[in-house]
Amino acid sequence: MDNEHIKDLARSAKLAFNEDDIKDWNEALKNVDAFAEKLSGLDSAAAPQPTERKMLFREDEIKPFADAAGLIADFKESEDDFCKVEKML
C-alpha cells in the first residue's frame, strides 16, 4: 500500500498522524484487501443488487429573500446586513 495514499485517507478522515500510525494503518488496509479478496469469491449474481447512485445537481441561483430585515432583526446581534454569530475558536 502506497504511504501517500494512506496519508490522503487520513487527511480525508481528518486525522493527524505520524509515521507509526501509517505503519499501523497499512496493516489494517491489508486486512481490508484480504476481505475484498475473500468476497470476490462469492457468487452474488442471484443477490439483489444495489441500485446505481447518481448525484443530481442543479444550477445555483440567487433568489431575493422576502424579509431579510426581519430575519436579521431576529438575530441576537447583527452588523450592516449580516447576522453575527459567536466566534467558535
Partner 1 sequence: MIKNSTVSVLNDAIKKIKEKNAELKAFIEIFEESALEQAKKIDEKRASGKPLGRLAGVCVGIQDNLMYKGHLMTCASKILQGQRAPFTATAVQRLIDEDAVIVGRLDMDELGAGPEVKTACADAVAAGMVPLALGTEAAGLKPTYGRISRYGLSAFSGSVDRIGIFANNAADAAIALGVLAGADDNDAMAYDIAVPDYTNALSTDLTGLKIGVLENCGYGESLETLKKLGAQIINVSLPSLQYGEACYRVLTSAEASANFEKFDGIRFGFAAEAENLDEVYSKTRAEGFGKEVKKTIISGHYILSKDNYKKTFVKAQAARAVIAADFKDAFKKCDIILTPATLGDMRFAADVAGLPRISAGNLYFYADKFKEEAILKAAYAFERAAKK
- Residue 3: all three cell numbers together: 504511504
The Cα-based distances of 74 to 9, 54, 63, 80, 86 in angstroms read 42, 38, 20, 14, 15
The site for partner 1 (CB under 8 A) is made up of 6, 9-17, 21, 24-25, 28-29, 31-32, 34-36, 38-40, 42-44, 46-50, 88-89
Q: Which is nearer to partner 1, 7 or 72 (CB)?
A: 7
User: What is the radius of gyration, based on Cα positions, of the chain?
Assistant: 24
Q: How far is the CB of 11 from partner 1 (least distance, A)?
A: 8
Shortest CB 22 distance to partner 1, Å: 10
Cβ neighbours around 68 below 10 Å, total: 10
Nearer to partner 1, 52 or 61 (CB): 52
